[in-house]
Amino acid sequence: MLAMSKWFTLTPFMSNRFSKRVGFSNSPGSVRAHVNGGGDDTNNSKNNDKKKKKKVVVVGSGWAGLGAAHHLCKQGFDVTVLDGGDGIGTPDNVGIQGFWYPYKNIFSLVDELAIKPFTSWTRSAQYSGEGLEVEFPVYQELPQLPTPLGTLYHTQFVRLPLVDRLTSLPLMAAVIDFDNTDVAWKKYDSITARELFKRFGCSERLYQDIFGPLLQVGLFAPAEQCSAAATLGLLYYLTLAHQKHFDVAFCCGTTKQKIFEPWVGSLKAKSCEMLEDKKVTDFNFDEETGCVTEVVCGNETYSVDAVVVAVGITTLQETIKKSAALCKREEFLKVLNLAGIDVVTVKLWLDRKVAIPNPSNACAGFDDLFGCTIFDLNVIHDEHKDDTETVLEADFYHANELLPLNDELVTEKVISYLSKYINDLESACVVAKEIGRFPKRLTHFFPGSYKYMMRGSTSFPNLFMAGDWIITRHGSWLQEKSYVTGLEAANRVVDYLEEGSFAKVIPVEEDEPHIEALRSLNRRLNEIISQVPLSSYFLQ
């Protein structure tokens, strides 16, 4: 069993110019001393205490924003959350998102909130244009084998021959070489996922029927539009690091209802101020210190001691274009090169029961344009468990061609697509529908995107960033990464303002011994090769 020191770690911070604290104690007493100004005078009024609190504005109320606000409120800061229009407590991941086994920080948050929002671990399946390809068991219930043997042995490949499956093994060389460092990201980010699979000898069938569809629902875009670095990071985190990591649970209702609403309630109980429809248009800063002094929302301003910006790429791009302060900084101008992915969610009520194979089913093969995940809400959501009709949801990623269509055309196309995978669907009638359109909502990790992404610290000493597109060495992905970067941003605020204690960020599970040994050997070989004359002359 791992020691507790391996499960919990303090977040690595920004460069030394922002790290001001020496010998800080994490004891509860030290936190109280900071918040109360170090004195024991109990006669101070709450209003006077309020004035002493340093003000932090968090821009964004998704996983990253609320994650930062959650920790900062506990440290006694005067926290205000500004939401730009989606509504306070609206997850930044649209559609139905799974919660995978390695989401240790989110599971810890849920325990702290004393809520039970999740289903049990569920089985799932993957389909290509040719039909059912893979059935995924609950891996933790099966004998644990060293990576990648457990994934290969226990996964039930319906159509793919063994010889094609074996062509995935050389890819482990790239997995070992990609250790989530800055060097590794720069090395692999310039090529596409398709080129990666080609270089390491994957068969055409393995690529078309397994890896291609997996990426269309994992990174939300066709493999030829996905960064090889992001592909390796996601594959390792969810499928290859440890056999049980691919196990997934879902919320028993919407994430907003089951997690975010009680979470927001707990923040308000800690005096966190939540303001809706506040679109940030600029930041005022002190020319001498370079620090942000005010957050500007149109004609309103909010004084700050520190700021956390935790919004998606598209929202930040809109702000940069309006902001006199941000558009002069190179790090923010680079963000204008990034891109988002369109998502369309389709919830359907049918007039009869239709058998859906698994609670979640990943599908691709729609003319190689987009991927989708089909969910059986009669199984997943508590509110639909006793319904006499079938209720399903299909979330479409990279849905550029669905986005402009009216509801009737979207429903018609969706029924025709899903009929390939769900028997008797065409004979059922749609009695109600609910369609959501989310342009440029999800992060697009396209080849070459890494050099435009931001780090958690900025050239403004008191402005920090969070979100699933922010560079972090933690190793997590999706909602977990968003939440972790929120905690990391909170730690940067604590460090900068020299008050409060640091959030404990649970690290990803350590590499299995054979992977750790191979990575260590690989690093030594790379160091030797780098010393060879002309080693950097040729294009890598």
Q: What is the pLDDT of residue 426?
A: 84
Instruction: Determine the Cα–Cα distance for residues 289 and 277; give it in Å rounded to an integer.
Output: 30
**The pair of three-digit structure tokens given for residue 79, joined into one six-digit string:** 């926290």
Q: Please, is 243 exposed, middle or buried when counting C-beta atoms within 10 Å of its C-beta (0-12, 13-18, 19+)? A: buried
Going through 260-414 in order, the beta strands assigned E by DSSP cover: 273-275, 282-285, 292-297, 300-303, 306-309, 340-350, 360-363, 371-376, 391-397
**The pair of three-digit structure tokens given for residue 490, joined into one six-digit string:** 């909170």
**The pair of three-digit structure tokens given for residue 317, joined into one six-digit string:** 């791009």
Distance of alpha carbon 375 from its chain centroid, rounded? 20
Extents of the domains making up the chain: 53-114+254-337+453-495, 122-245+507-529, 338-442
53-114+254-337+453-495: in CATH 3.50.50.60: yes
* Secondary structure (H, E, C), 295-319: EEECCEEEECCEEEECCCHHHHHHH
Longest dimension (CA), the chain: 77
Please report, for residues 160, 476, 533, the alpha-carbon distance to residue 236 in angstroms, rounded to integers and kept in the order given. Answer: 21, 10, 33
Please report, for residues 64, 73, 157, 477, the alpha-carbon distance to residue 480 in angstroms, rounded to integers and kept in the order given. Answer: 9, 20, 28, 6
| Residue 498: DSSP 8-state | T
**The pair of three-digit structure tokens given for residue 194, joined into one six-digit string:** 């398709």
Instruction: Yes or no: say if 56 and 308 are a contact pair by the CB < 8 Å rule.
Output: yes
Instruction: Determine the Cα–Cα distance for residues 330 and 253; give it in Å rounded to an integer.
Output: 42
Instruction: Yes or no: say if 246 and 137 are a contact pair by the CB < 8 Å rule.
Output: no
Q: What is the pLDDT of residue 538?
A: 65
Q: What is the pLDDT of residue 531?
A: 78
Q: Please, is 254 exposed, middle or buried when counting C-beta atoms within 10 Å of its C-beta (0-12, 13-18, 19+)? A: middle
Phi, psi of 459 (to 5 degrees): -75, -10
Comparing C-alpha atoms, which of 116, 114, 376, 95 is closest to residue 258? 116
Orientation angle between helical segments 104-113 and 63-74, nearest 10 degrees:
50
Rg of the chain on CA atoms, in Å: 24
Q: Do domains 53-114+254-337+453-495 and 338-442 have the same CATH topology?
A: no
Instruction: Determine the Cα–Cα distance for residues 415 and 268; give it in Å rounded to an integer.
Output: 42
Tell me which residue has tokens 């933790």. 140
| Residue 224: DSSP 8-state | G
Instruction: Determine the Cα–Cα distance for residues 185 and 516; give it in Å rounded to an integer.
Output: 18
Instruction: Yes or no: say if 335 and 454 are a contact pair by the CB < 8 Å rule.
Output: yes
Instruction: Determine the Cα–Cα distance for residues 60 and 66; give it in Å rounded to an integer.
Output: 8
Kindly give the confidence (pLDDT) of every residue in the chain, 540 residues in length, as a single tens digit, with 9 standing for 90 and above. 333 333 333 444 444 333 444 333 333 333 333 333 333 444 444 455 545 899 999 999 999 999 999 999 999 999 999 998 777 777 877 899 999 999 999 999 999 999 999 999 999 999 988 889 999 999 999 999 999 998 889 999 999 999 999 999 999 999 999 999 999 999 999 999 999 999 999 999 999 999 998 999 999 999 999 999 999 999 999 999 999 999 999 999 999 999 999 999 999 999 999 999 999 999 999 999 999 999 999 999 999 999 999 999 999 999 999 999 999 999 999 999 999 999 999 999 999 999 998 999 999 877 667 889 999 999 999 999 989 899 999 999 999 999 999 999 999 999 998 988 888 888 899 999 999 999 999 999 999 999 999 999 999 999 999 999 999 999 999 999 999 999 999 999 999 999 999 999 999 999 999 999 999 998 888 778 777 777 676 666
Exposure string of 397-414, with b = 16+ CB inside 10 Å and e = fewer, is bbbeebeebeeeebbebb
Tell me which residue has tokens 């078309």. 208
Phi, psi of 344 (to 5 degrees): -125, 125
Q: What is the pLDDT of residue 25?
A: 32
3-state helix, strand, coil in the chain (%, to 5): 40, 20, 45
The model carries a pTM of 0.89
Superfamily, domain 338-442: Protoporphyrinogen oxidase, mitochondrial; domain 2 (3.90.660.20)
Please report, as a single letter, which amino acid is at residue 380: I
| Residue 54: DSSP 8-state | P
**The pair of three-digit structure tokens given for residue 42, joined into one six-digit string:** 């109990």
Instruction: Yes or no: say if 371 and 364 are a contact pair by the CB < 8 Å rule.
Output: yes
Please report, as a single letter, which amino acid is at residue 112: E
Instruction: Determine the Cα–Cα distance for residues 396 and 367; give it in Å rounded to an integer.
Output: 13
